[in-house]
Amino acid sequence: MTNKEHTLSWQALGRIVVVGAGILLAWKAVDVLVGILIALMIATAVFPFVQKLHKHLSLTASAIVVFLCMLVPFVLIGFLIMPIIIAEIPSLVSTLHHVLSHATFLPAQVRSFDAVAYFTQNGGDVLASTKSVVFGIVSVITVFFMSFYLVLDNERFLGFFLDLFPHSEHKTVKDMLMEVARVNGMYIRGNFIISLICAAYLFIVLAILKVPFALPLAIFAGILDLLPLVGSTLGTIPALIIGFTISPVTGILILILHLIYQQLENVVISPAIYNKALDISPALSFLSVVIGGGLFGILGAFLSLPIAASLPAVARYFRHYQRDVHA
């Protein structure tokens, strides 16, 4: 029986240390990496518009025009809609608190929860925390400008990334990146369009049924509809609660009309807008959302679907690479 000694070379030990340090650095800088990922997704979403405009203007002018157009809806919401929503939020929270406190079918802990005091206290804490507010604003501005420079300097960034691979692999890697960018861009644009449709639909329904707080309830549902799979349903719950306080008929009508819209969104609207860009199974969609939400919260759930839809393009590259290696 022979004894074999397995020696660990300094080179192998160095690789282990470098990989371990890279993993630790990535984990510590996860917020930065998520910000970069969001900036990349925004850049891929607006890049087709910049390309079309670039036929008539310089790349810099095209990017500035497109990003300024992106800001217009947010400015309009901030100056025209937000004051109305802020004015109605206290009454909306008070109404929801009154409804929940008198709902005998709910647990005592839920009925005794003072929503008005909670939102008043925590809202004041958020506003008083200058550090949190400033950090949030700086993060949004940073992601916005990062997206702008990614679009503006896309060829240099692409060339830098391609230089990490052998020259023979450049075309395959570039095709993979173009496919991933197409999927991500389609998802971002489609998701925002679907959310706008959801908010507009619910606002019309609530306005016709003369449900109070129609605008904030519709905008809340539209924002939550950005979350895949369950966002639209969760966003409609406050409207359902207030609808049932008006009358059972109003609540049932809101529920029926929401179920109709949910079917239209799943069967007609989403496939038409995404155009099979996110052609993944419902089981994989649900699993990716659960994993993404569990690891990184709401942002993780939002980013999970385009990442999952990008995996086939990445898998095709690795299959191509393995064929070349073993050829």
Residues 306 and 187: beta-carbon distance below 8 Å: yes
Per-residue confidence (pLDDT) for residue 279, from 0 to 100:
63
Q: To 10 degrees, what angle do helices 282-326 and 30-53 make?
A: 80
SS3 call for 37: helix
Please list, residue by residue across 60-86, b when 16 or more beta carbons sit within 10 angstroms of its beta carbon and e when fewer do.
Answer: eebbbebbeebeeeeeeeeeeeeeebe
Name residue, tokens 């306005």.
207
> If you ran DSSP here, which 8-state letter would residue 167 be given?
G
Per-residue confidence (pLDDT) for residue 205, from 0 to 100:
94
Condensed to tens digits (0 to 9), the pLDDT of residues 277-319 reads: 666 666 677 777 778 777 777 777 777 777 777 777 777 777 7
Q: What is the pLDDT along the chain (327 residues), one digit of tens a residue?
A: 445 444 556 665 666 776 677 666 666 666 677 788 888 888 888 888 898 898 888 888 999 999 998 888 777 777 777 777 777 777 777 776 666 666 665 666 655 666 556 666 555 555 555 566 666 777 778 888 889 988 988 888 888 878 877 787 788 888 888 888 888 888 888 888 889 999 999 999 999 999 888 888 898 898 888 887 778 888 898 888 888 888 889 889 999 999 999 888 888 888 777 766 666 666 677 777 778 777 777 777 777 777 777 777 777 777 766 666 555
Structure tokens at 33: 């990496």
C-alpha to C-alpha distance for 259 and 255, rounded to whole angstroms: 6
Domain ranges of the chain: 30-91+98-117+129-164
Q: Model pTM?
A: 0.71
Per-residue confidence (pLDDT) for residue 6, from 0 to 100:
47
Question: Beta-carbon neighbour count of residue 256 at 10 Å?
Answer: 10
- Longest CA–CA separation in the chain, Å: 88
| Burial group, residue 308, by CB count within 10 angstroms (0-12, 13-18, 19+) | buried
Q: Which helix (H) or strand (E) is 294 found in, with range?
A: helix 282-326
| Burial group, residue 306, by CB count within 10 angstroms (0-12, 13-18, 19+) | buried
Alpha-carbon distance values, 180 to 44, 143, 200 (Å): 9, 20, 30
Condensed to tens digits (0 to 9), the pLDDT of residues 232-286 reads: 888 898 888 888 888 889 889 999 999 999 888 888 888 777 766 666 666 677 7
Select from 100, 142, 131, 143 the least CA-distant residue to 118. 100
Total residues belonging to the chain: 327
SS3 call for 279: coil
